[in-house]
Structure 1
Amino acid sequence: MFKDNKSFHQAKMAKLPGEEVLHDDGPLKEKFPNEWAILADKEYQGLANYLRCIHPKKGRSLSRAEETSNDQISSDRVIVENYLGRLNVLWRITTDKYRWNESLYDDVFRLSVALTNFHVSISPLREQNGEWYRQSQHKLIQLGLKIKEKRRLAQEKYRAKKRQTSLD
């Protein structure tokens, strides 16, 4: 899914005019000097071939340097998960199936992020925010599975009716 939206992500990762003077010593800065990095988890292996993506290395026999790098990335990912947890706690619309007008989604999401940024500025992130994020992710996965099952049952019912009418 991420790869299907490559152009969208590249546009959002592009450094804006004036941002090139900001300090940036992250990985792959030489290969992608005009982009900010995406912090991803292990499932996104290979993205660094065409996007500036930072993710932990997979494998059992990692060097000490790779293990240290993985620890640093995981530490940063915890902050991201805690932030997303706070976003989900504050704004239920970010955790449920979006049912409103699609043209409003970007504005609603940006407003939610802006208000969450303000909230974080007066109340720092905590570990329970990350736990809430994991719980809301699980909830969304379960919602998706229910939708798939409901569709499968509807298709099965339709096919059974169609078979019955063809026999009559």
Structure 2
Amino acid sequence: MPVIKENVYSDVMMETLCYQKTPQKDLMMSIFKPESWAAGDCRPAVLFYFGGGFYKGNPSHFRMQAEYFAHLGMVTLTPDYRLTTLPGITVKDCLLDGKSALRYVIAHAEELGIDRKRIVVAGGSAGGAMASVAAMVNSLDESDESSVPCAMIL
């Protein structure tokens, strides 16, 4: 799949933020917003996790889909996560990063213009596994946090 580096839709804004700092790297997340977006909106959102067997891939994998749904009025997000090619990183670390990304979106929903009750997780291959774990494995949550989306697209 070719990597898209520029916006396909002229009515979509993109920004990047750090959702977690780790010893290996800062974990970044791209956020795609519709032109009419405003902080405090209550929009549905989709969090797209890229695939690649937990050892390759990058967040641009779902950029085309993220832009498309932002064009339709949703807020879409494509988080990075650590890969097992980094020294000492296991699949569990990758999954913890995926949970962390979802918790970040839930915790910052208001400033991101997102309705906490309408967050969908999506992914393909390893990203699909990440989305399902983010939705269903509560033992990976921090003790005082929750990360339960309203739906999954796997």
TM-score (norm 2): 0.29
The structure number with the bigger radius of gyration is 1
Determine which structure has greater relative contact order: mean sequence separation of CA pairs < 8 Å that are 6+ residues apart, divided by chain length: 2
TM-score (norm 1): 0.27
The structure with the largest strand share of the pair is 2
